[in-house]
Structure 1
Amino acid sequence: MRASAPLTSCLLASLSLLLAACSAIGPDYQRPALPDLPAQWKDQGSWQAARPADQLPKQSWWQLFGDETLNQLEQDCIAHNATLAQALARLQQAQALAGSHAAATLPSVGAGMSASRSRISADRPLSNYNSPNSSTIQNDYKPTLSVSYEFDWLGRVRRDVESANASAEQSRADSENVRLLLTAQLASAYFQLRQLDEESHLLQASIGLQEKVLHLTQVRHQEGLDNASALATQQAALQAAQAQLSLLGNQRQQQQDLLATLSGKPAPALSLSPGSLPTQLPAIAGGLPAQLLERRPDIAAAERAMAAANAQIGVAKAAWFPQLTLSPSYIGYESAQLAKLISAPALVWALGLQASQTLFDNGKTRAGVNYAEAGYQAAAASYRQTVLQAMQESQDALSTLHGLSEAGTRQQQAVDSQRKAYELSLLRYREGLDNALTLAINQQNLLAAQRLQSQLRGSQFVWSVNLLKALGGGWQASATN
């Protein structure tokens, strides 16, 4: 038997190689066909064509806006946000699980050692009473090396590893998507805060002007040139503007608290000085609709989920066939004397091949296959829906920005007209040609036009963030694609 051991090992090795060369059970993964995508976006306006050679890192898309305060907040978000840290921890779990599944492709090897000293009774039962019986004390030393291995003759293990690796890649894409969503939410909140700053600045300037007009109205009232109604009207306009300023302050505080939470700080710990929106909108590469598939992490995650579900079909189908396992098997030495432990006479080994097959399970295996196939269909539908949703978000952002750009141009003209009307009314009021009510109306009209202009600019920056998010955070593809 010792002479046949090398031959047996060679046969087992050959069998393993042969089985590994067999195709794995279950369908090979292929991306599903999608409906024909449009050749270009509607209402592209002046958006430039995307260039794959752009060197802007995907995770730093917010640097396009050139705002140092925003850049610092985004860095704090990436470094300290608890939601992102949770997503990265889940990624580490998925990677560790994939490594655990990959370990099944190689044999499991264990080592053991036993040592004992025992005394055999002199009065023990014997099968032959004519034989002498005596007490014996003996040692037993036995080191062993054991091996257990499942022959992957159907590719069940390979499909299981394939599924685990796809799930790990999905988790990586999910973490990238969480990063994108959080940084986009922070940028939107920041631009809303700056838009409120601009509105507050306009209101403060208007309040200062209204206070001067109120003083002038009080003088005219004392001189009998204006009645009490004109004075009350101007006082009401001033008080309304002051109330609006208080409301804007409350809204700004809420946005600042949100920025604190997103950047990983307690709300009372963050205090941002008043500022303004950037002077210009960034040039954003819209690209072609089909290129979304290369850029969005949520699409990558949905596609990897589909690959994992596809591999699970093979794992489920393998239950219909026998499972071949090399177990138990070991090689070692056994001797009563420690000095003679490592010697040819003390060599011991055992080799066994186990095959197990369920003959009747009342439809359990069939149900498992149906479950896996339905899981793949659900993942494929989710992938298609994610692609369509990405198309909708990108088209909505492009169309909205195009509309906001046209509205902003017209609103600038409206502001210029209202400013001229107010300046003319103020001049006429000083000359006594207009009353305080007419001046107050022109004041409010100018303020409303300026505030709408500020709101439009704020919306343009917020929707620029939405477009960047819809496009996957920038042109350059992430490591998950």
Structure 2
Amino acid sequence: MNVFKPSRLCLALAVAAAMSGCMVGPDYQRPSAPVSVAFKEAAGWKAASPQDELPKGPWWALYQDPQLSALVAQVQLNNQNVAQYAAQYRQALALVRGSRAELLPTVSATGATTRSETGTGSSGSSSAGSAGGPSNEHSATLSLSWEADIWGKLRRTVEEDRASAQASAADLANATLSAQSSLAQDYFQLRILDRRIALYEDTIKGYERYLQIIQNKYDENIVSRADLSTGKTQLHSARASMLDLQWQRAQYEHAIALLMGKAPADFSLAADAKWAYHVPQVPLGVPSRLLERRPDIAAAEREMAASNAAVGVATAAYYPDLTLSASGGYQSSTMSNLFSLPNRFWSIGPSLTGTLLDFGKTKATVEQARAAYDASVASYRQTVLTGLGEVEDYLVELRTLEPELVARRTSAEAAEDSASVSRDQYEAGVIDYLDVATTQATSLSERQTLLSLVGTQLVTSVQLQAALGGSWEGANAGQ
């Protein structure tokens, strides 16, 4: 004889399954976002060639710098912020699996042995139940419990957790992109500082040679002491400026080490005299692509979907929960014949539980969930606006930097020519050394400014790459 009555259980399960098609709460529809047809500052933008809408490989490969590629590859492996978001993503996936498991029945087994004795009365005589002294009780029970998701509360919970997991995946991608972008920016700043330090080193060597010439002339009473003092001031000022750049370079090197998950003492990046930069043409696409390309926008959209599902979970509290349970097993005072037919027992039946009066608590919870959804919608739209603004800012900056660099190169060449002419005039005794020092300082300043602008161009290019979403493509994580 069977312990359970499977026909009754199957009938109850079939009825519950038929009732489980209902899902309370709003179905998710992505709200509109303030996206324009085209980027305002993209007018005259030179499209990348070939005109693929998106880069096919990692975005940093466009800079054609093997050293940069090797450093950026370390971010995803060793950066601790990225590792933290990766762990949170795994946690979110586990939560999805847990909420899915709630849709299925729970089966549990229990085995127990107890020894008990009924106490005696005040007269000291033993009761009937304890006439034989202590007694043993042995049992083996198998139980099954299943919550019929009639109103969709469990399915909305799965929907909420899945959207949260997808948001977590986007957060991971955003943290990775941010770290990679920061490393690339620091790397380019460091390389430009190497160029600027090398320029100071060459300039200082020239100043030292020229100061020796002035010293010799001063010893021969050909030039005044003012010329000698001016030459010394010029030399030591250049040395001080070079030292200022050296500690800045060291700090960029430290920042790169931290982004790769290394202690600064364990990392060094030597200067590369042959380093050459390449500013790539960034493929823009259309503004609406940001909704899928930028991980922070994708994360905000998925959080919005999770908040929408949370409204359904809260709404389901208005309705009763139906739980189907069944249990059966054996119970006996002796272990030897525990699993015999006379010792069997079983039970089966539904349980309907609902709140009759909570003084507006459920209503307040639903209102809170709806307000949280409205807040997530506003956050999503603001994230889209911020992304559009960043792209427009970097576009106009890059577009303006192009003619500015051309003008600055022309200015630097003219300043160098002026410095060369003034040196010839000084050697001919036509002008004082103060005039030479002025033109040389102007030439040095122009060349340093030119290098700084190149650094700004590279950094802005990286920022535009990140603002466009880098190489990331949205994935259906947590499905």
TM-score computed with the length of structure 2 as normaliser: 0.91
Shift of 1:449: 0.9
Task: Note the C-alpha offset of 1:407.
Answer: 0.7
State the secondary structure of the residue aligned to 2:34.
coil
1:179 Cα deviation from its structure 2 partner: 0.6
Equivalences for residues 70-469 of structure 1 within 5 A: 70-115=68-113, 125=127, 135=132, 141-275=138-272, 278-327=276-325, 329-335=326-332, 341-342=338-339, 344-469=341-466
- Cα distance in 1, alignment partners of residues 3 and 290 from structure 2: 64
After superposition, what is the alpha-carbon deviation per residue over 1:127-164, rounded to whole angstroms, capped at 9, x for unaligned? 9xxxxx97499875432210121111000111111111
Q: Is the contact made by 2:54 and 2:285 (CA closer than 8 Å) also made in structure 1? A: no
Judge conservation of contact 1:191–1:461 (CA < 8 Å) in 2.
yes
8 Å contact 2:48–2:281 — kept in the other structure?
yes
Query: 2 CA distance for matches of 1:4 and 1:214?
Result: 105
Partner-residue secondary structure (3-state), 2:102? helix
C-alpha deviations, 1:217-271, integer Å up to 9, x for none? 2222233332111121111111111110111111111111211221112222222
Distance 1:121 1:392 in 2: 81
Q: Is 1:24 aligned to 2:23, yes or no?
A: yes
**Could you tell me which residue of structure 2 aligns to residue 130 of structure 1?**
none
Percent of residue pairs identical: 36
Alignment partner, residue 477 of structure 1? 473
Compare 266-275 and 117-126 and name the one that shifted more: 117-126
SS in 2 for 1:26: coil
> What whole-Å deviation, never above 9, does each CA across 1:369-425 have from its counterpart, x for those lacking one?
010000000111100000000001111111111111111111111122122222222
Contact conserved, 1:144 with 1:333, CA < 8 A, in 2?
yes
Task: Work out whether residues 66 and 278 of structure 1, in 8 Å CA contact, stay in contact via their aligned partners in 2.
Answer: no
Query: Which residue does the alignment assign to 1:55?
Result: 56
Which stretch has the larger CA shift, 73-82 or 227-236? 73-82
Give the structure 1 partner of residue 36 of structure 2: 37
Residues 36 and 77 (structure 1 numbering): CA distance in 2 closer, same or farther, change over 3 Å? closer
One-letter amino acid of the counterpart of residue 27, structure 1: P
> Does the 8 A contact of 1:109 with 1:145 survive in 2?
yes
> Deviations 1:245-304 (Å, cap 9, x if unpaired)?
111111111111211221112222222212366332122211111111111110111011
- 8 Å CA contact 1:102–1:161 kept in 2: the answer is yes
Count of aligned residue pairs for this structure pair: 470
Q: Secondary structure at the match of 2:284?
A: coil
- Judging changes above 3 Å, is the alpha-carbon distance between structure 1 residues 134 and 417 closer, same or farther for their aligned structure 2 residues? closer
CA distance in 1 between counterparts of 2:247 and 2:136 reads 85
2:145 match: secondary structure: strand
Moved more, 29-38 or 184-193: 29-38
Equivalent-residue separation in structure 2 for 1:256 and 1:121 (angstroms): 80
Say which of 63, 66, 88 aligns to 1:68.
Answer: 66
2:88 aligned partner, one-letter code: R
Segments ≥4 residues shifted beyond 6 Å = 1-4, 117-123, 136-139
Unmatched 5+ residue regions in structure 2? none
Query: Could you list the per-position Cα deviations for residues 301-335 of structure 1 after superposition, in whole angstroms to 9, with x for gaps in the alignment?
Result: 101100111011111111111111124x2022345
CA distance 1:138–1:218, change in 2 (3 Å): closer
Distance 2:136 2:432 in 1: 119
Distance 1:332 1:417, change over 3 A: same
**Which range moved further: 464-473 or 282-291?**
282-291
Measured after TM superposition, the shift of residue 338 of structure 1 is 5.8
Cα drift, residue 479 of structure 1: 2.9
Once the two structures are superposed, what CA deviation does each residue of 1:141-199 show, in whole Å capped at 9, x if it has no partner? 43221012111100011111111111111111111111111111111111111111111
Query: What corresponds to 1:46 in structure 2?
Result: 46
SS of 1:33's equivalent? coil
Q: Deviations over 1:30-75 (max 9, x none)?
A: 100123523234245223286356421xxx3222222233223222
* 1:205 positional shift: 0.9
TM-score (norm 1): 0.90
Where does structure 1 lack aligned partners over 5 or more consecutive residues?
Answer: 128-132
**What is the DSSP-based 3-state SS (H/G/I as helix, E as strand, rest coil) of the residue aligned with 1:112?**
strand
> Secondary structure at 2:26's aligned position in 1?
coil
State which drifts further: 153-162 or 11-20: 11-20
Q: CA deviation at 1:79?
A: 1.8
Whole-angstrom CA distance in 2 between matches of 1:338 and 1:234? 106
Deviation at 1:118, TM superposition (A): 7.5
1:7 aligns with 2:7: yes
Preserved CA contact (<8 Å) 2:24 2:312? yes
**Is the CA contact (8 Å cut-off) linking 1:121 and 1:135 kept in structure 2?**
no
Q: Distance in 2 between matches of 1:430 and 1:478?
A: 67
Letter matched to residue 31 of structure 2:
P
One-letter code aligned to 2:75? C
Q: Structure 1 residues 410 and 124 mapped into 2: Cα distance closer, same or farther (>3 Å)?
A: same
Question: 1:119: how far off?
Answer: 8.4
Paired amino acid for 1:26: G
| Contact 1:117–1:139 (8 Å) recurs in 2 | yes
Measure how far apart 1:433 and its partner are.
2.9
